[in-house]
Amino acid sequence: MNQMKTFLLLAGMTALFGAMGLMIGGTNGMVMALGMAALMNVGSYWFSDKIVLKMYGAQPVESGPLYEMTENLARRAGLPMPKLYVIDNPQPNAFATGRNPDNAAVAVHTGLLDMMTEREVAGVVAHELAHIQNRDTLIMTITATLAGAISMLANFLMFFGGSSQNGEGRGVHPIVGLVVMLVAPLAAMIVQMAISRTREYSADRRGAEICGNPLDLANALRKLEIGASRVDNVVAENNPATAHMFIINPLHMRATDGLFATHPHTQNRIAALEAMVEGGEVRGTARLKLWKK
- Domain ranges across the chain: 2-278
Residue 151's contacts (CB-CB under 8 Å, 6 or more residues apart) are 184, 185, 188
Record the pTM: 0.76
Model confidence band, residue 271 (pLDDT cutoffs 50, 70, 90): very high
What is the C-alpha separation between 12 and 14, in angstroms, rounded? 5
If 0-12 CB within 10 Å is exposed, 13-18 middle and 19+ buried, where does residue 287 land? exposed
Average pLDDT over residues 72-93: 97
Any idea which residues carry the catalytic annotation? 128
Average pLDDT over residues 240-264: 73
pLDDT of residue 180: 59
pLDDT of residue 8: 61
**DSSP letter, residue 257:** G
Contact present, 17 and 33 (Cβ < 8 Å): yes
**DSSP letter, residue 246:** B
What is the C-alpha separation between 105 and 84, in angstroms, rounded? 6
- pLDDT higher than 60, residue 12: yes
Average pLDDT over residues 51-57: 91
- pLDDT higher than 90, residue 36: no
- pLDDT higher than 60, residue 52: yes
145: amino acid identity, one letter: T
Most distant CA pair in the chain, distance: 74
- pLDDT higher than 50, residue 124: yes
Chain-wide mean pLDDT for the chain?
79
pLDDT of residue 138: 75
Model confidence band, residue 139 (pLDDT cutoffs 50, 70, 90): confident
Q: State which of 90-94, 179-183, 279-283 shows the largest mean pLDDT.
A: 90-94
pLDDT of residue 144: 63
